Amino acid sequence: MLSILAITVPIFALILVGWGARRKGIFGPATSGELNRFVVNLALPALLFQIVAKVRWQEIWQPGFIGAFGIGAFSVFAITVALRVRRSRHLADAAIDGLNAAYANTAYIGFPLALSALGPAGLTAPLIASILTVCLLFALGLILIEVGLQQEAHPLHMAAKVGRALARNPLLVAPVLGAVWLATGIPLPDSADHFLKLLGGAASPCALVGLGAFLAERRPAGRGEGASVAVLCLAKLIAQPLLTWVLATRIFHLAPETTRAAVLLATLPTGTGPFMVAEYHGREATITARTILITTLLSLVTITVCLALLP
């Protein structure tokens, strides 16, 4: 518990900094949106490009782990989106809810937690999980959001507008360019690698400070908001790790240490990605912000239970 607390306390501290600065008037009302613009347009694309451009396929090609963690995350995402759309939720908002339920904080919490719980040999697992979550799941969410925002248009016109929007989206362009660089076989120059590391390293801290500033704004609770947050928290902290455990043990028959890594990463709280997307596209972000905050708090318990139960 103490090691998990040491990892999660800085997250709460950054949220608190943003919250306090906004409440004291140090930050203005546009702070959250402007910080998210920086993250979405510069910091996170730099991180995505660096992750993909430096991948070594022989290291990350672990089909069993990819299947267990990936199918678990994508299934929870798809089920959440389908249920929310069925309840007359706008497709763009339903896609953000799907990310709330399945987008694990594999980068900011996953790497230090894996190092603490699994040792240096376990760091490949959060790398694979980050690629699946931050690149692929995130991309699917972005595509559905763009489709939802254009769904009133004629199908051909909608397809053209969605295509143009996706082609201009830095969160999709950056990993594609990273893959192109990887295909060339040329290693990143040290100066470029250092630049990307500095810029990409600002993504999570800035997003967390922006989240705190957003939470500091006084807003009336929306109808059914509490129930929505509760369902999304259950999906993220209970449904996803349980489904991952079933896939790992019953379908892919993974070794105990690989099962432990997959389930542990599935138990992680919601990352800041959904909040950044909600703010960037002007969607209502209160449910997302509260889901991130509550899952991060409750993950202190769920991660501890996961470590205790798994061999």
For residue range 169-185, list pLDDT tens digits in order: 887 888 889 989 988 98
The helix-helix angle for 44-53 and 170-184 (nearest 10°) equals 20
Give me the chain's average pLDDT, please: 87
Q: Using the predicted structure, report yes or no on whether residue 118 has a pLDDT greater than 80.
A: no
Domain map of the chain by residue range? Answer: 54-189+227-309
φ and ψ of 104, to 5 deg: -75, 145
Euclidean distance between CA atoms 66 and 61, whole angstroms: 8
- Angstrom CA distances, 245 to 16, 103, 252, stand at 34, 17, 10
Q: Name all contacts of 18-21 with Cβ < 8 Å and 24+ positions apart.
A: 18/208, 18/209, 18/210, 18/211, 18/212, 18/213, 18/214, 18/215, 18/216, 19/212, 19/213, 19/215, 19/216, 20/212, 20/216, 21/209, 21/212, 21/213
Euclidean distance between CA atoms 120 and 161, whole angstroms: 45
9 SS3 class:
helix
pLDDT digits (tens, 9 = 90+) for 208-258: 898 888 888 876 666 678 899 999 999 999 999 999 999 999 999 999 999
- What is the predicted pLDDT for the residue at 154? 57
Euclidean distance between CA atoms 68 and 79, whole angstroms: 16
Say what the pTM is. Answer: 0.85
Euclidean distance between CA atoms 11 and 33, whole angstroms: 19
- What is the predicted pLDDT for the residue at 244? 98
Among the listed residues 99, 82, 95, 182, the one whose alpha carbon sits nearest the alpha carbon of residue 133: 99
**Side chain identity at 286, as an amino acid letter?**
T
pLDDT digits (tens, 9 = 90+) for 134-178: 889 998 998 999 888 876 555 666 677 777 767 788 878 888 899
Percent over 90 (pLDDT), the chain: 43
Cα 110 to the center of its chain, rounded Å? 11
Q: Using the predicted structure, report yes or no on whether residue 2 has a pLDDT greater than 70.
A: no
Q: Using the predicted structure, report yes or no on whether residue 120 has a pLDDT greater than 80.
A: no
- Name 230's Cβ contacts closer than 8 Å, sequence gap at least 6: none
DSSP lists the bridge partners of residue 115 as none
Q: Using the predicted structure, report yes or no on whether residue 267 has a pLDDT greater than 80.
A: yes
Q: Is 223 left (phi over 0), alpha (psi -120 to 50) or beta?
A: beta
pLDDT digits (tens, 9 = 90+) for 47-80: 889 888 888 887 788 999 999 999 999 999 999 9
- What is the predicted pLDDT for the residue at 152? 59
